[in-house]
Amino acid sequence: MLDPVWFSTALGLLGGLVLSYVLGKAIVPRLIAKSRHMPILLYLALAGTVIAVLPALFLSLVVGGTLGGAWGERIFDQLGLDSSGAPVGLALGIALVFALVVIAGATIAVFSGKALISYRNRRTRS
């Protein structure tokens, strides 16, 4: 039988992937809309996402798992439920931290690209 901790960890990572995809589809097009350099910014967003996946994995397992498991156990105890809160909180914490770190990587890459393009345009005008 599958251990609840491993199952909730896998479920949290899968949920984090889905959440980061949904958030990315909502946020990234707004960041690069109406730009003359849309293909470059799109590639930078993809590169920022790929670069952020490994730190997102580590941070989600360490920070998201620890805080989510503790918060889930605490909330379920206050509600008078049995000890099933830790795996639920673990999955939610992992999913949330994973998605936030991946989206942050894509956003930072897009803003860095915009700053570099703006700097290059200013340098060529003067």
Q: What's the pTM?
A: 0.90
Segment 103-111 shows an average pLDDT of 96
How far apart are the C-alpha atoms of 86 and 77, rounded to whole Å?
Answer: 10
Cβ contact 13:94 at 8 Å: yes
Residue in this structure with the two tokens 């109406």, named with its chain if needed: 34
Q: What is the pLDDT of residues 51-90, one digit of tens each?
A: 999 999 999 999 999 999 899 888 888 888 876 788 999 9
The tokens for 37 are: 């350099």
Q: What is the pLDDT of residues 12-54, one digit of tens each?
A: 999 999 999 999 999 999 999 988 999 999 999 999 999 999 9
Contacts of 102 (CB under 8 A, 6+ apart): 16, 20, 24, 49, 52, 53, 56
> φ and ψ at 13, to 5 degrees?
-65, -40
